[in-house]
Amino acid sequence: MRLLAKLSSLLLLINHFSLLQPPMAWAQTSITLQAGVQLDDKVPSLDETLAPGNQFNQTSIEQKIQKVPEQNQWYKIPSWAAGSWKTLKAQTTSYKDETTGKNTISGFEYTMKAAFSMGLEKDRTGQIWDFVDHNYWTHTEYDSQDAYCFVTYTAPGTIDNNTFRKSSRYIAFVVDKATKKIISTEQEQAVSIYSNQSTTLMQKKAWHRVFDWNGNPVSSAHNEVNCIRSNYFIADPTTFTADGRLLRPLFKKYLIDNGLAALLPQGASDIDAEINSVMPAPEKHKRK
């Protein structure tokens, strides 16, 4: 089986350390940027054992991070955004050092090679859907350091005319490979807005803000990147979530539970046994 395809999209965020907007339960005083995008001006502090200088332990960290409860939630993807994409370069159009208040506006361009995909299932009408997944780790290895990111929240994407908006948040740790001590801890938010340029080109504008472990803002920036289509959408019935749940039965169950049985790719009577046979026991849904 294949791990949730959209996980690769996190590489775009890790490359320039960005996170996404928190849910209402985390609402703080915020600033409004272009296109109505809001980013917090402060977030809650983390447990002091997650601060730089402490030993890095994934199990211990998960016990001290505020998590969003697991749920079976899906959202629609515009047809022009569905499929596989790659990026080669990105441009920072503005940057602010939050500790000094200094603003920098420039067209600084940098290499950002990454791949990501959007869309996981298609309903009976042809509408493409994606799954809300969070509370999972990503890991990037370097020569003497490891970068770990724990995705704490991903918001359902929203479609507005010819744009598609996504947001989420995560906590990034840079760890010394030899000592396993935390070098840096950053809480990060980001909002990304995608717009359709052509059948093979999509533009992404990303607003992101970085906070230290105490919740104080460190920096904020706006980036732009062109996304080049590498493949059109193809549903894969073997894709599963970060915690090991097969996605296709979850999608069908979501449609039934939300009164959308008419959108089922096949008749409801044909899939009851399928759902029951592949759904793990409830206690197995929890991530460790």
Tens digits of residue pLDDT in 119-169: 999 999 999 999 998 888 889 888 899 999 999 988 899 998 889 999 989
The number of domains in the chain is 1
Give the residue among 157, 235, 168, 164 at the shortest CA–CA distance from 202.
164
CB atoms closer than 10 angstroms to residue 178: 8
Instruction: Give residue 35's pLDDT.
Output: 54
Asked whether residue 251 is assigned to any structural domain, the reply reads: no
Residues with Cβ within 8 Å of residue 186, at least 6 apart in sequence: 17, 171, 172, 210, 211, 212, 213, 218
Question: Residue 170 belongs to what domain range?
Answer: 2-236
Whether residue 259 lies inside any domain: the answer is no
Q: CA-to-CA distance for 238 and 106, rounded, in angstroms? A: 44
Residue 255: Cβ within 10 Å count: 22
Q: Which two tokens stand for residue 141?
A: 């290895």
Residue 24 DSSP SS3: helix
Per the domain annotation, does 28 fall within a domain? Answer: yes
Q: Is residue 70 over pLDDT 90?
A: no
The answer as to whether 272 is a domain residue is no
Q: What average pLDDT does the chain have? A: 82
Beta strand spans in the chain (E):
2-3, 30-32, 38-40, 74-77, 83-97, 102-118, 121-122, 128-131, 136-141, 145-160, 163-176, 182-198, 201-211, 217-231, 239-240
User: Do the Cβ atoms of 191 and 34 come closer than 8 Å?
Assistant: no
- The pLDDT of residue 20: 30
pLDDT value at 245 more than 60: yes
Show Cβ contacts of residue 115 under 8 Å, excluding neighbours closer than 6 positions: 8, 11, 84, 85, 86, 87, 230
The answer to whether position 267 is within a domain reads: no
Among candidates 8, 11, 13, which has minimal Cα distance to 207?
13
Specify the higher pLDDT residue, 113 or 64: 64
Q: What is the per-residue pLDDT for 53? A: 97
Q: 61 pLDDT exceeds 50?
A: yes
Regarding predicted confidence, which is higher, 20 or 258? 258
Assess whether pLDDT exceeds 50 at residue 19: no
User: What pLDDT is stored for residue 104 in this prediction?
Assistant: 85
Specify if 182 maps to a domain: yes
First to last CA, the chain: 20
pLDDT over 50 (residue 201): yes
What is the distance between the alpha carbons of residues 98 and 93, in angstroms, rounded to a whole number?
Answer: 16
**pLDDT for 48 beyond 60:** yes
Q: Which residue matches tokens 């460190």?
A: 218
Q: How confident is the model at residue 109 (pLDDT cuts 50, 70, 90)?
A: confident
By three-state DSSP, how is residue 12 classified? Answer: helix
Q: What is the pLDDT of residue 247?
A: 93
In a domain, 52, yes or no: yes
Whether 245 is covered by a domain: the verdict is no
Rg (CA), the chain: 19
